[in-house]
Amino acid sequence: MSDSAIKVKNLYRYFGALKAVDGISFEIPHGSVCGFVGANGAGKTTTMRILASLDYPTMGSVEICGKDVTAYPDEIRKLIGWMPDHFGNYDHMTVLEYLDFYARALGYSGDERRSRVRDVMEFTDLIPLSDRLSNKMSKGMTQRLGLARSLIHDPQVMIMDEPAAGLDPKARVELKHLIRVLAEEGKTVFISSHILSELGEMCDSLLFVNNGRIVHHGDADSLRVGSDSTGGFLYDIQLIGEAQSLSDWSVINPNVEFLETRKRGGRIRIDSNDPNVAADILAKMVRDGLRITEFHREERNLEDAFIDILGKIDEGNPSPIQATQTETTTHS
Q: Which residues bind another protein (CB under 8 A)?
A: 16, 52-54, 56, 68, 70-74, 77, 80, 82, 84, 86-93, 96-97, 100-102, 104-107, 109-110, 113-115, 117-123, 127, 130, 149, 151, 154, 181, 185
Which candidate, 23, 12, 26, 19, places its Cα nearest to that of 216? 26
Nearest distance in Å: CB 126, another protein: 11
Nearer to another protein, 186 or 231 (CB): 186
Give the residue with the Cβ less far from another protein, 74 or 315.
74
How is 191-233 classified by DSSP, letter by letter? EE-S-HHHHHHH-SEEEEEETTEEEEEE-HHHHHSS--TTS-E
Quick one: which of 39, 129, 51, 139 has its CA closest to 88?
Answer: 139
The minimum distance between CB 153 and another protein, in angstroms, equals 9
The whole-angstrom distance between residue 138's C-alpha and the CA centroid of its chain comes to 25
Minimum CB separation of residue 330 from another protein in Å reads 25
* Minimum CB distance to another protein smaller for 127 or for 323: 127
Residue 84 CB, nearest approach to another protein (Å): 6
Closer by beta carbon to another protein, 13 or else 217: 13
Is the separation of the CB atoms in 325 and 318 below 8 Å? Answer: no
> Rounded to whole angstroms, how far apart are CA atoms 250 and 271?
13
Q: Using an 8 Å Cβ cutoff, are 290 and 272 in contact?
A: no
CB 199, min distance to another protein, A: 22
Looking at the Cβ atoms of 9 and 224, the one nearer to another protein is: 9
Tell me whether residue 192 or residue 205 sits nearer to another protein (CB atom): 192
Q: Is the distance from CB of 217 to CB of 207 less than 8 angstroms?
A: yes
Q: Which is nearer to another protein, 82 or 249 (CB)?
A: 82
Shortest reach from residue 1's CB to another protein, in Å: 18
CA 101 to chain CA centroid, Å, is 31
Provide DSSP, 49-93: HHHTTSS--SEEEEEETTEETTT-HHHHHHHEEEE-S--PPPTT-
Nearest to 81 by CA among 154, 28, 171: 154
Q: Shortest distance, CB of residue 190 to another protein, whole angstroms?
A: 15
